[in-house]
């Protein structure tokens, strides 16, 4: 049996979530809510459902905004009202019916909100960057005013607004439970609001939410605590990090590893490691270019558990140009991560997981494909 297609367990404070294998569909924006109301559509059911039928162990819905102004684009999903939660329910039911777990990435884009989606209908018209108010855009918010993203200047959040924002994350988490999700991933990567607080490149605040490491990480710690307080104790909670800004004076992998250990004590058990997102990308490029970041965090969590003489129940996933079954298997065999998140390769091939199982020599009866597709002769 391959390591990639061995069963996995995600821990929670008073429960566990079993996965049929260690493949995760990474959250990827679809820019497909044409009504601009944050409500999932038949497209989202088909897109996510196809990957569940295609064998993934965990299927994670795209960045789903906790407030309307937190959307990356006006066409993004949301969980700021009950109508959205109810519309997600058939999607999560179908995902589970295919043998996968259903996850959602909760997000707030901060200064990178209100932008045109990166899809042909906008790009072909030369529509990129910030959406003006006349086309449905809005004034964005951030820890500090910044031009780092090359977008419209955001409005700095007051301390009172930060407190309200923390509660919005908690409210969205409650709705995620009502919608039937098994897992939440808090989006703290790619230059969006939480990452904007973490990075010195975008956080120039002089109060308790800026300056030192403790100040810059405060918002995420408060968000995690608020979400974990309302998210069922038997369900695991995760965070996606940008492990490094790849810029001198920016957020570093050492800080990421330190924060992962601290968040573990607040009830986060699943960590996904990406990178960059603030300004132009300056990091490495190539197959598996972010795997070393996952390895660093995995080692830090293991060392902390050993020092405290407790079981290491953290689960770390790697992401970034992992495209082949052999590559994914090697990451796990080398102990660099516990699972792999597949992104663009899964856009090209909904059955990526099932095909990977066959490439790795899994028996047909252990290959995770929909029974309706049996005649494909896997």
Query: Which residues are known catalytic residues?
Result: 192
Residue 159 CB: number of other CB atoms within 10 A? Answer: 10
- Cα–Cα distance for residue pair 183/254, rounded to 1 Å: 26
Q: Most distant CA pair in the chain: distance in Å?
A: 63
| Phi and psi torsions of 326, nearest 5° | -65, -40
- Cα–Cα distance for residue pair 188/270, rounded to 1 Å: 13
Q: Which two tokens stand for residue 251?
A: 């957020």
Contact call for residues 23 and 328 (beta carbons, < 8 A)? yes
- Cα–Cα distance for residue pair 296/305, rounded to 1 Å: 15
Using a 10 angstrom Cβ sphere, with 0-12 exposed, 13-18 middle and 19 or more buried, the burial of residue 175 is buried
- Cα–Cα distance for residue pair 162/25, rounded to 1 Å: 31
- Cα–Cα distance for residue pair 219/195, rounded to 1 Å: 10
């Amino acid at each position: 049996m391959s390591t990639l297609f061995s069963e996995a367990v995600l821990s929670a404070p008073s429960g566990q979530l079993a996965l049929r294998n260690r493949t995760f569909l990474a959250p990827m924006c679809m820019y497909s809510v044409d009504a601009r109301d944050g409500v999932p559509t038949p497209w989202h059911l088909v897109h996510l459902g196809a990957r569940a039928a295609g064998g993934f162990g965990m299927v994670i819905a795209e960045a789903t905004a906790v407030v309307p102004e937190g959307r990356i684009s006006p066409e993004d999903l949301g969980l700021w009202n009950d109508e959205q939660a109810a519309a997600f329910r058939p999607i999560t039911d179908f995902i589970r019916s295919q043998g996968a777990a259903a996850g959602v990435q909760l997000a707030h884009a901060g200064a990178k909100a209100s932008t045109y989606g990166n899809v042909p209908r906008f790009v072909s018209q030369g529509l990129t960057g910030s959406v003006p108010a006349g086309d449905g855009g809005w004034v964005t918010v951030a820890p500090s005013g910044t031009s780092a993203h090359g977008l419209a200047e955001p409005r700095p959040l007051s301390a009172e607004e930060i407190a309200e924002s923390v509660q919005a994350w908690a409210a969205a988490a409650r709705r995620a439970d009502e919608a039937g999700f098994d897992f939440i991933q808090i989006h703290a990567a790619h230059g969006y609001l939480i990452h904007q607080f973490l990075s010195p490149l975008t956080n120039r605040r002089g109060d308790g939410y800026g300056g030192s490491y403790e100040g810059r990480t405060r918002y995420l710690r408060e968000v995690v605590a608020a979400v974990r307080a309302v998210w069922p104790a038997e369900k695991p909670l995760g965070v996606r990090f940008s492990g490094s800004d790849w810029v001198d004076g920016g957020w570093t992998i050492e800080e990421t590893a330190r924060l992962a250990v601290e968040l573990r004590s607040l009830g986060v058990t699943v960590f996904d490691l990406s990178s960059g997102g603030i300004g132009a990308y300056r990091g490495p490029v190539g197959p598996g270019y972010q795997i070393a970041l996952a390895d660093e965090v995995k080692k830090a969590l293991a060392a902390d558990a050993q020092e405290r003489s407790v079981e290491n129940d953290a689960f770390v996933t790697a992401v970034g140009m992992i495209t082949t079954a052999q590559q994914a298997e090697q990451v796990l065999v080398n102990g660099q991560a516990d699972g792999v998140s597949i992104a663009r390769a899964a856009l090209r091939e909904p059955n990526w997981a099932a095909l990977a199982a066959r490439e790795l020599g899994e028996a047909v009866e252990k290959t995770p494909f929909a029974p309706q597709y049996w005649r494909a002769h896997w």
